[in-house]
Amino acid sequence: MSHYRSNRRDIEFNLFEYLKVGEYYGEAPFASFDEDTARDALREVDRLATDEFANSFVEADRNPPELVDGQVKLPDAVKSSLDAMYEGGWHLLGLDESLGGFAAPPSLRWATSEMLIGADPATFLYASGGLMAGVIAAEGTQQQMEKWAIPMVENRWGATMVLTEADAGSDVGAGTSKAVHIEGDAYHLEGVKRFITSGENDYYDNIIHLVLARREGGDPGTKGLSMFIVPKFQVNDDGSLGERNGIYTTSIEHKMGIKGSTTCELTMGMNEPCIGYLVGDSHHGIRQMFKVIEDARMMIGVKSAGTLSTGYLNALEYAKERVQSADLSKSMDKSAPRVAIIRHPDVRRMLMLQKAYAEGLRALWMYTTSTLDNKVLHPEDEYWDKVNDLLLPMVKGYSSEKAYELLAQSLQVFGGSGFTQDYPIEQYIRDAKIDTLYEGTTAIQALDLFFRKIARDQGKTLMQFSDGMMEYAKGGSDDFATERQALGQALEQVQNHIGVLVGHSMNSMQNPTEIYKTGLHTNALLESLSEVTIAWLLLEHAEVASAALLDATGDDVGFYEGKIASARFFVNDALPKIALRTEAAQAEDGWLMELSDAAF
């Protein structure tokens, strides 16, 4: 039986009942996907995720790939899962028609992605060829489009993003890999890269690496980095595979989680030439690579939310079946019947905690996908691009932290059984931890949110975005008057928190160490802004659910009641913490940064 439990009902609620994507699905530029077609796609991907794709989850973890004589052999189950995805054409869903794709709305692409990545994240990570092909198509020359991007899709080649170096880590601009010009767009590359996902495997005939390196004479820091197409095998003029290129996997990491995903050290130009091709004939590597990075950050937020969701649903199923102890109100009666543990107060609390946040994280990333839809629908309106930038560090940073934290509550529901491999929760936890680390740690997301997305923008996008929250807080239905009042107060507290951090940043112009006071509280701001946004979204969900309840029947009654419960629980659990974080920021005197290292 599959470990994976999808929540397609909530995905469809977000899409069709709250975001109302049916109003523009089926119209240009999304003419190929009307609402009925989209629902069909969701149903089929749900089936695929639960069956064939989830089948590789355990085998890839228990028998992870190994590097032998420079080659990596993937478990058969991983290959079967990838076969099922490719044979169904699901890798084409979000790709542009110029690459042979179906040009689905971004919101639908990500909705299907939640189910696949929730079913087996390690296997899903191999399927990045389409993304890299899209970047080459957008940033490369016409010749590169024809030689690399189109064949990557047609031939189902693998692909990687190659940034990190051992001595640089997240400081990408400190990388030392170098590129020496040969002729035209061709360069010799030398260097060692680390933590490269899917850097080697025996599933794909070819792997296209998108590599950041510094050309001779390139500026220091990130501005001097260029992006290169570096194939595992060169491609002949007739499209056939040619000679092996000089980029090799020299080791793979042995990891805590996502063990089925090969995480590689790549060495370029060690014993034979490694030839790469400058993307787009221009040296704007970091800007070009950010198209990949932003997509990867979105993917991590979706992965986190999807993993918490299936963890919660597994725990819920267990809590309904596991009978243990009498009802607390009858605990003195030794003859009282034993009850399912869902009837015990603390188990009930844990379940609602998981439910509210799992639905909240999904609401956050799904709203963010609607901004991507709107970027396509309204390319002339800069707001959608800017608000997407604002939301992305919340999707990646907050979702990854909260999912990892609350998966421990999923395990707790199982008791000691959850600590064993009889149930999937322990693997969910191991697979989820990486989400707070790669593609920029949580602290980096928080710094990005404050300095780049708020301060540099002078708060303009945030003010425009928060106007919608404040409008709701002042004008929703009377049924949620108490919650709306709490939302309004929390929003004011977040604004105060931002004001404090801006003040410290301004003071740092005269006294540079004042910036420490900002840095000590940016993570807290990330939490608070994420939680006030989620509270707003869940309350708007509750408004929709409350209206729908009037005519609901069957399973929909419980679903809509649950949406209202999630909103109320989240507001009561999350929003009171916002004022405490603001007070802490206001009281900050920087003493921690003055403490001697020896005191630690």
DSSP single-letter state for residue 215: E
Helix axes 481-507, 460-475, angle to 10 degrees: 160
- Which residue in 157, 133, 272, 281 sits closest to 207, CA to CA? 157
Residue 452: CB atoms within 10 Å:
13
H/E segment holding residue 300? helix 285-321
- Which residue in 234, 230, 252, 255 sits closest to 243, CA to CA? 234
Question: Bridge-partner residues for 73, per DSSP?
Answer: 66
The torsion of the CA quartet 436, 439, 440, 446, rounded to 10 degrees, works out to: -70
Structure tokens, 596: 């001697």
Residue 234: CB atoms within 10 Å:
13
Question: Bridge-partner residues for 310, per DSSP?
Answer: none
Residue 330: CB atoms within 10 Å:
12
CA distance 405 to 491: 24
Residue tagged active-site, from 114, 139, 439, 543: 439
Q: What is the DSSP string of 223-240?
A: GGEEEEEEESEEE-TTS-
Instruction: Give, rounded to a whole angstrom, the gap between the first and last alpha carbons of the chain.
Output: 49
CA distance 550 to 528: 34
477 contacts: CB under 8 Å, gap ≥ 6:
543, 546
* 146 assigned to active site: no
User: Any idea which residues carry the catalytic annotation?
Assistant: 439
